[in-house]
Structure 1
Amino acid sequence: MRAMVYRGPYKIRVEEKDIPSIEHPNDAIVRVTLGAICGSDLHLYHGMMPDTRVGMTFGHEFIGVVHEVGSSVRNLKVGDRVMVPFNIFCGSCWFCARGLYSNCHNVNPNATAVGGIYGYSHTCGGYDGGQSQFVRVPFADVGPALIPEWMDDEDAVLLTDAVPTGYFGAQLGEIVEGDVVVVFGAGPVGLVAARSAWLMGAGRVIVIDHLEYRLEKARSFAHAETYNFTEYDDIVVEMKKTTDHLGADVAIDAVGAEADGNFLQHVTSAKFKLQGGSPVALNWAIDSVRKGATVSVVGAYGPLFSAVKFGDAMNKGLTLRMNQCPVKRQWPRLFEHVRNGYLKPSELVTHRFPLEHIAEGYHVFSAKLDGCIKPIVVPSAA
Structure 2
Amino acid sequence: MRALIWEGKKDIRCESVPDPVIEHPRDAIIKVTTCAICGSDLHLFDGFMPGMESGDIMGHEFMGEVVEVGNANSTLKIGDRVVVPFTIICGECEQCRRGNFSVCERSNRNQDVANKVFGHTTAGLFGYTHLTGGYPGGQAEYVRVPYADRTHVKIPEGLTDEQVLFLGDIFPTGWQAAVQCEIEPTDTVAIWGAGPVGQMTIRSAVLLGAKQVIAIDRVPERLAMARAGGATVINFEEESVLERLADLTQGKGPEKCIDAVGMESHATRSFDSLYDRAKQAVMLETDRPHVLREMIYVCRPAGTLSVPGVYGGLIDKIPFGASMNKGLTWRMGQTHVNRWTDDLLRRIQDGQIDPSFVITHTVPLDQGPEMYKTFRDKEDGCIKVVLKP
TM-score (norm 2): 0.92
Deviation at 1:353, TM superposition (A): 1.7
Q: Does 1:225 align with 2:225?
A: no
Q: Does 1:301 align with 2:311?
A: yes
Equivalent in the alignment of 2:90: 90
Distance of aligned partners of 1:270 and 1:17 in 2 relative to their CA distance in 1, 3 Å threshold:
closer
SS of the equivalent of 1:127 reads coil
Deviation at 1:51, TM superposition (A): 1.2
Counterparts of 1:22-61 in structure 2, within 5 Å, are: 22-61=22-61
Equivalent in the alignment of 1:365: 375
Deviation at 1:155, TM superposition (A): 1.5
Equivalent in the alignment of 1:166: 174
- From 291, 312, 329, the counterpart of 2:339: 329
Is the 1:260–1:277 Cα contact (8 Å) retained in structure 2? no
Deviation at 1:260, TM superposition (A): 7.5
Structure 1 distance, partners of 2:215, 2:3, is: 36
Q: Does 1:312 align with 2:325?
A: no
SS of the equivalent of 2:202 reads helix
SS of the equivalent of 1:8 reads coil
Distance of aligned partners of 1:243 and 1:113 in 2 relative to their CA distance in 1, 3 Å threshold:
farther
Distance of aligned partners of 1:113 and 1:246 in 2 relative to their CA distance in 1, 3 Å threshold:
farther
SS of the equivalent of 1:301 reads coil
Q: Report the AA paired with residue 228 of structure 1.
A: N
Q: Report the AA paired with residue 56 of structure 1.
A: D
Is the 1:266–1:304 Cα contact (8 Å) retained in structure 2? no
Which region of structure 1 is more displaced relative to structure 2, 56-65 or 155-164? 155-164
Deviation at 1:177, TM superposition (A): 1.2
Distance of aligned partners of 1:72 and 1:259 in 2 relative to their CA distance in 1, 3 Å threshold:
farther
Equivalent in the alignment of 1:134: 142
SS of the equivalent of 1:44 reads helix
Equivalent in the alignment of 2:5: 5
Q: Deviations over 1:97-134 (max 9, x none)?
A: 10000001112213225311100011111001000001
Structure 1 distance, partners of 2:246, 2:276, is: 23
Q: Deviations over 1:55-114 (max 9, x none)?
A: 000100000111111110000011111111010011111110100000011122132253
Which region of structure 1 is more displaced relative to structure 2, 180-189 or 191-200? 191-200
Distance of aligned partners of 1:115 and 1:259 in 2 relative to their CA distance in 1, 3 Å threshold:
farther
Is the 2:266–2:273 Cα contact (8 Å) retained in structure 1? no
Is the 1:267–1:305 Cα contact (8 Å) retained in structure 2? no
Q: Report the AA paired with residue 224 of structure 1.
A: A
Deviation at 1:5, TM superposition (A): 1.1
Counterparts of 1:1-382 in structure 2, within 5 Å, are: 1-108=1-108, 109=111, 110-111=113-114, 112-220=120-228, 222-232=229-239, 234-258=240-264, 268-270=275-277, 278-379=288-389
Gaps of 5+ in 1: none
Is the 1:286–1:312 Cα contact (8 Å) retained in structure 2? yes
SS of the equivalent of 1:247 reads coil
Deviation at 1:354, TM superposition (A): 0.7
Distance of aligned partners of 1:260 and 1:19 in 2 relative to their CA distance in 1, 3 Å threshold:
farther
Is the 1:268–1:306 Cα contact (8 Å) retained in structure 2? no
Is the 1:173–1:295 Cα contact (8 Å) retained in structure 2? yes
Is the 2:196–2:383 Cα contact (8 Å) retained in structure 1? yes
- How many residues align? The count is 371
Q: Report the identity percentage.
A: 44
Q: Deviations over 1:201-220 (max 9, x none)?
A: 11111000011111011011
Equivalent in the alignment of 2:283: none
Deviation at 1:333, TM superposition (A): 1.4
Structure 1 distance, partners of 2:160, 2:339, is: 20
Q: Report the AA paired with residue 26 of structure 1.
A: R
Query: Which consecutive segments of 4 or more residues in structure 1 shift more than 6 A?
Result: none
Deviation at 1:43, TM superposition (A): 0.5
SS of the equivalent of 1:123 reads helix
Structure 1 distance, partners of 2:8, 2:278, is: 24
Deviation at 1:242, TM superposition (A): 2.2
Structure 2 distance, partners of 1:176, 1:260, is: 30
Q: Report the AA paired with residue 365 of structure 1.
A: F
SS of the equivalent of 1:159 reads helix
Structure 1 distance, partners of 2:250, 2:315, is: 34
Deviation at 1:236, TM superposition (A): 2.0
TM-score (norm 1): 0.94
Q: Report the AA paired with residue 314 of structure 1.
A: M
Q: Deviations over 1:19-67 (max 9, x none)?
A: 1111111111111110000001000011111011100001000001111
Distance of aligned partners of 1:213 and 1:140 in 2 relative to their CA distance in 1, 3 Å threshold:
same
Is the 1:82–1:147 Cα contact (8 Å) retained in structure 2? yes
Structure 2 distance, partners of 1:165, 1:266, is: 26
Q: Report the AA paired with residue 236 of structure 2.
A: F
Q: Report the AA paired with residue 256 of structure 1.
A: G
